[in-house]
Structure 1
Amino acid sequence: MHSRLQKYIFALLAAAAIASLPSCKDDMYDNSPKEPLELSQTEIIVGNGATTVHIGITARGQGWTVTGSESWCTVDPESGDRGISQVTVTFTEYSIEGEDKREATLTFTSGGETKTVKVTQHSTSKIPLPTEHPDHLINEEIRLQYLDKWYYNGETRTTDADYNQSYDKFYSNYLKFLKKNDLDGNAWASNNERYIYSYIEQNPKGTTANDTPPLNYGMEFELLEWNGKLAARILYVLKNSPADRAKLKRGDWFYKVNDVRMGNWITNKGDYQYNYLIDTLVSPIPGDIAKLGMLTFRNYSLELTDMGNSVTLSPENFRGNPILHHQFITRANVDTQDPTRTGYLVYNSFDPHFRDELIAEFTQFKNEAGNDGLTHFILDLRYNKSGTVEMAGLMGNLLVPEAARGKVFAQYKFAGGETATATFEPDETSGVKAPTILIITSKYTAGAAELLINALKGIEPDVKLVVIGNITEGMNVGMVKQTYPTEDNEYNMWIAAFTCTNALGEWDYRFGLTPATGKLSEWEGDNLKWPETWGWRGTVGATEDPLLKKAMDYVVGNEEMPKGSVFYETSRKRAGYVRRFCVPDNMVMETKTE
């Protein structure tokens, strides 16, 4: 197994590293730095008939070109932009007597990087097989495993596959270039490179995936860039974590890791620093430390200034409670002067490890509200990157009023045509039965969090739903686990296998859910222009938080409640100065699928 994580999840906590809830997806990828140019194949061998072969291209830094076409072997297109693309290699018929072959070399170039593909066409239909990769047979079986489970099983039956690569790269590359696969994955904003939700892990046969969380520091951050300079802003710190004990807090900034300054993600020159950051902070191994060079803002501008100090962290196998903040708020309505009783919960993962803790939080809210009950509930999911559908259902039952009982929470539609339906069953003991639910979202809100929002939208007007914040990830596909055993190992595949439909039959939010209140971010307007107003970011639940403030304005009547909750985006819209490359956790079912 590989010792580090290569998928770009800038979440330094163990959200829920259990067999049924993959979060950090360790052991997925080779730890080598991401190359500026990658090709899905390095060699093509075909017979004498006219045929076509596709090559997938990932160009991370700049656009690409290809040369080396021959009259019998042409490539289309011959250039493209950075990101993910595909070329078609077309072969003419090769009709001569006897056995012979003709060869060409296709040279792909992107910036200063060059990769070649050796092309051979034989004059007979019987061609020698290339030297097989050790994982060749495993990859063939992996492909077969998809046929009755994966959501796009029809396409896997007809798509060419290059089995001569390691099992993890085969798994990712094969899915990445499927033309119809627009549910299983998303794309980085900066270069439009695609990532895949489905993944595979290898375990020695006879071992069971343990429930120990991976090494982490107990905080989460995002990268931002000004004038070619990278800096990281801490989004939150989990209580009792290594980051918490080091006195780091939400809103702190750093720009060095172990005295290595972060690079510029726009150029290839930043690759070393960029990957060093990922290895050290996102996927530490035993013995690692992270010495963070801290920053502050100078005057009233966006100039980042070295504070001259550093904070040193050691990772631990830490699992933090996803309940980040609990607050009971009482304020009078500005018009009627009637009291409002509002529960505010910041919840970062639908993690079944903390099921009892979630129920206890709602019991406390119910007790705080007293006999009159809550008038509103604000559920802050801005950093919630999914979890299990069962926990999303539990949250729904702890929230909704009695009128929702028996209504469809979600219908799960599986690749094979099977369906399963979950209904709302309001919790009599701990449920707050809030008539109005306000949910805060961001670009990090994904999977099970989106499932809950869509489910609540489906039962309006039994509940008044208001969504505040920004467009969400758009993960409307869930995972099931399938295991392929070999003589020495077990390959556990988490496969995109089902979609989620609400009571109104709505399901297609693959491009994200957009709040009907309009897009709002804590980084917009004066919050970006005037750094001196950023002090509140050190306190979760601060009244200066524009998202919480907007929610409370609706609660007390400073603003009229919107008529709708969310609408479904129809195309991918990713832009901005904030680095959007946090891969969400998968939305999965805890029930094991054989």
Structure 2
Amino acid sequence: MKKHLKILNLRKFFFLFLASGIILTACKKDDDNIPDGPNANLTVQDFMWRAMNLWYFWQADVENLDDSVKTNASSYEEFLATENDPGEFFDNQLLFNEDRFSFYSEDYKELTQALSGISKSNGLEFGLVRFQGSDDIFGYVRYIVPGSDAATKNIARGDLFTGVNGQTLNIDNYTDLLFGDADTYTLNMADIANNTVTPNDEEVTLTKQPNLAENPVFLSKSFDINGEKIGYLVYNGFTNEYDEDLNNAFGDLKAAGVNHLVLDLRYNPGGSVNTARLLASMIYGTNTSNLFLRQRWNAKVQSQLNKEQLEDYFSDKTGDGSTINTLNLDKVYILATGSTASASELVINGLTPYMDVVHIGEATRGKNEFSITMVDDPEGSFIFNPDRENEINSNNQWAIQPLVGRNENADGFSDYTEGLVPDIELQEDLADLGILGDQNEPFLARAIQEITGASGKRDFSVRVPAEVMTSSKMFGPIKDNMVLDKPLDLKFQ
């Protein structure tokens, strides 16, 4: 589903862009002579090739992206015409076979609006599970976005549904029914009886709202349990528009005197690299001499970057200049599942060299590359920059979001494409999903047990495991992407 989008914050230039005065001798538009008008797709595909040839992380591993492809003008144009649809050209001709995450959009304006944190949504966040031995699927509600249409309806975390508009959900129709063009749909609800999901007669009608913005700082609270002060934070997306809210939440936890933290990233698919750095600083500390991550690019880009540009350190200030509210912990408990990806995984990996990270849940998604937004602006090195929007080719509205690099931690580790493995395995139980923030909710209860050492008689066996096939997040603005938001001053020779 490469057409789905991810959030960036335009207000703070949540993009990698190049400073003015950049020299890029290899990408002059007037050298190409690719036609517009009836053959406009060649213009789009020419832009895609040139951008990928320069920036793509696996450029050297994709034969079609070799510099020699463009040597002969006629054969190059024939290559561009191998696919009639630019999307198919991007997917079939330009991507490395191990790339699961690069994608495109037919309208860069639509993309960048969504990437600013604004989307059309009914506020229902859910997971989708396939019935064993069947093509039918069902959904379970993970949480409701405050202020959304779903927040006004009789639906809550843990509720189940098996159909939409009277049609049973299956592997072939769920995308159109749940994520299609219809702004309003009716869910056909279900219950669990004898550990079996069974439809009932209840219905809930939901309507998508334009311009719905979700604050990812969903819940923050503290507990006094057996003499331990435990902080709990549900964080659902790395959107730098809300960095101050995140820092304020840590300020409240710090004021409450918490000496343990349970960070819930179960439903967090990622986002801003810089926000991940700030969150890690809020957890561990603000020593700006400690390396948080080091970037790895393709050979073309890597050779142009110096140590300062390639490395990011823990921070003592937010982007707005506020002092980081750090807990200065030496141990953190992170709740994570297969829906935990990119910037969430970056936090786990980046903290591991410095502190004890106790991962409770399931293996994470395994998204360890970052991306940038590219448009048809050769003089701007194809990197979307809102200050250069007038320079974008007016005959080409397409954008691409390719993977361009990988982040490694201070120990040099970045190889977690199979996901980060939990220290304590636990699946969500659809028969006992619990209430977020309730200390009896199974995942939080397991973390509390680990902190306090009081095993008691709590049974953490799972009756109806949530074997998640996909989730609503994978069809939303943020998806499972990690976006580098660090300005670099590059001059390609």
User: Could you say which TM-score interval applies, normalised by the shorter chain?
Assistant: 0.7 to 0.9
CA distance in 2, matches of 1:470, 1:212: 28
- 2:192 is aligned with 1:297: yes
> Deviations along 1:316-345, whole A, 9 cap, x unmatched?
12111112221201112xxxxxx2111100
- 2:187 is aligned with 1:312: no
Alpha-carbon deviation of 1:16? Answer: 3.3
- 2:342 is aligned with 1:447: yes
SS in 1 for 2:213: coil
> Deviations along 1:196-248, whole A, 9 cap, x unmatched?
3333443479x974747221111211222335342211111111111111132
SS in 1 for 2:468: coil
Q: Cα distance 1:208–1:389, how it changes in 2: closer, same or farther (>3 A)?
A: closer
1:199-210 to structure 2, matched below 5 A, reads 199-203=104-108, 209=113
Alpha-carbon deviation of 1:577? Answer: 4.3
- 2:372 is aligned with 1:476: no
Contact kept, 8 Å, 1:401 with 1:435, in 2: the verdict is: no
What residue number does 2:458 align with? none
- 2:138 is aligned with 1:235: no
- 2:147 is aligned with 1:147: no
Contact kept, 8 Å, 1:219 with 1:243, in 2: the verdict is: yes
Q: Structure 2: 5+ residue runs without aligned partners?
A: 16-37, 70-78, 318-322, 377-391, 456-464
Instruction: Give the letter aligned to residue 384 of structure 1.
Output: N
What residue number does 1:422 align with? 312
Instruction: Give the letter aligned to residue 412 of structure 1.
Output: Q
Contact kept, 8 Å, 1:17 with 1:214, in 2: the verdict is: no
Bigger share in helix: 2
What residue number does 2:453 align with? 557
- 2:145 is aligned with 1:248: no
SS in 1 for 2:421: strand
CA distance in 2, matches of 1:348, 1:548: 16
Give the TM-score taking structure 1 as reference length.
0.63
Q: Cα distance 1:441–1:303, how it changes in 2: closer, same or farther (>3 A)?
A: closer
> Deviations along 1:532-577, whole A, 9 cap, x unmatched?
xx2x53x212333332122111211236xxxxxxxxxxxxxxx994
Q: State how many pairs are aligned.
A: 407
Instruction: Give the letter aligned to residue 217 of structure 1.
Output: N
Task: Report 1 or 2 for greater relative contact order, CA contacts < 8 Å, sequence distance ≥ 6.
Answer: 2
Contact kept, 8 Å, 1:133 with 1:165, in 2: the verdict is: no
What residue number does 1:120 align with? none
Q: Cα distance 1:480–1:275, how it changes in 2: closer, same or farther (>3 A)?
A: closer
CA distance in 2, matches of 1:204, 1:325: 32
- 2:276 is aligned with 1:392: yes
Contact kept, 8 Å, 1:376 with 1:435, in 2: the verdict is: no
Instruction: Give the letter aligned to residue 302 of structure 1.
Output: T
SS in 2 for 1:452: helix
Contact kept, 8 Å, 1:140 with 1:163, in 2: the verdict is: no
CA distance in 1, matches of 2:466, 2:139: 16
> Deviations along 1:131-150, whole A, 9 cap, x unmatched?
x9641242133112211211
SS in 2 for 1:170: helix
SS in 2 for 1:553: helix
CA distance in 1, matches of 2:112, 2:151: 31
Instruction: Give the letter aligned to residue 252 of structure 1.
Output: D
Contact kept, 8 Å, 1:483 with 1:491, in 2: the verdict is: yes
- 2:223 is aligned with 1:329: yes
> Deviations along 1:401-431, whole A, 9 cap, x unmatched?
46x5521100112222135111113565522
Q: Cα distance 1:352–1:212, how it changes in 2: closer, same or farther (>3 A)?
A: closer
Q: Structure 1: 5+ residue runs without aligned partners?
A: 1-5, 23-131, 186-195, 266-270, 333-338, 560-574
SS in 1 for 2:346: helix
What residue number does 2:129 align with? 224
Bigger share in strand: 1
What residue number does 2:399 align with? 492
Contact kept, 8 Å, 2:2 with 2:103, in 1: the verdict is: no
Contact kept, 8 Å, 1:399 with 1:433, in 2: the verdict is: yes
CA distance in 2, matches of 1:148, 1:15: 22
Contact kept, 8 Å, 2:220 with 2:232, in 1: the verdict is: yes
Of residues 240, 257, 266, the one that matches 1:382 is: 266
SS in 1 for 2:401: strand
Instruction: Give the letter aligned to residue 396 of structure 1.
Output: A
Contact kept, 8 Å, 1:477 with 1:587, in 2: the verdict is: yes
Contact kept, 8 Å, 1:331 with 1:340, in 2: the verdict is: yes
Instruction: Give the letter aligned to residue 358 of structure 1.
Output: L
What residue number does 2:165 align with? 258
- 2:233 is aligned with 1:345: yes
CA distance in 1, matches of 2:240, 2:153: 28
My pick for the range that moved more, 159-168 or 432-441, is: 159-168
Of residues 502, 510, 516, the one that matches 2:417 is: 510
> Deviations along 1:295-325, whole A, 9 cap, x unmatched?
1123x2314131x221111111211111222
Alpha-carbon deviation of 1:516? Answer: 2.7
CA distance in 2, matches of 1:414, 1:515: 28
SS in 1 for 2:87: helix
Q: Cα distance 1:303–1:429, how it changes in 2: closer, same or farther (>3 A)?
A: closer
CA distance in 1, matches of 2:267, 2:311: 27
Q: Which runs of 4+ in 1 moved over 4 A?
A: 6-9, 17-22, 158-162, 207-212, 426-429
Alpha-carbon deviation of 1:293? Answer: 1.3
> Deviations along 1:178-212, whole A, 9 cap, x unmatched?
34xx2x31xxxxxxxxxx3333443479x974747
CA distance in 1, matches of 2:112, 2:127: 33
CA distance in 1, matches of 2:58, 2:3: 25
Q: Cα distance 1:225–1:493, how it changes in 2: closer, same or farther (>3 A)?
A: closer
SS in 1 for 2:245: helix
What residue number does 1:457 align with? 352
1:176-215 to structure 2, matched below 5 A, reads 176=95, 178-179=96-97, 182=98, 184-185=99-100, 196-203=101-108, 209=113, 211=116, 213-215=118-120
Contact kept, 8 Å, 1:442 with 1:472, in 2: the verdict is: yes
Rg larger in structure:
1
- 2:489 is aligned with 1:586: no
Paired-residue identity, %: 23
RMSD: 3.0
> Deviations along 1:425-446, whole A, 9 cap, x unmatched?
3565522222321111000110
Instruction: Give the letter aligned to residue 469 of structure 1.
Output: G
> Deviations along 1:124-172, whole A, 9 cap, x unmatched?
xxxxxxxx96412421331122112110111243487764322222212
CA distance in 2, matches of 1:212, 1:326: 21
Instruction: Give the letter aligned to residue 326 of structure 2.
Output: G
Alpha-carbon deviation of 1:393? Answer: 0.9
CA distance in 2, matches of 1:175, 1:164: 11
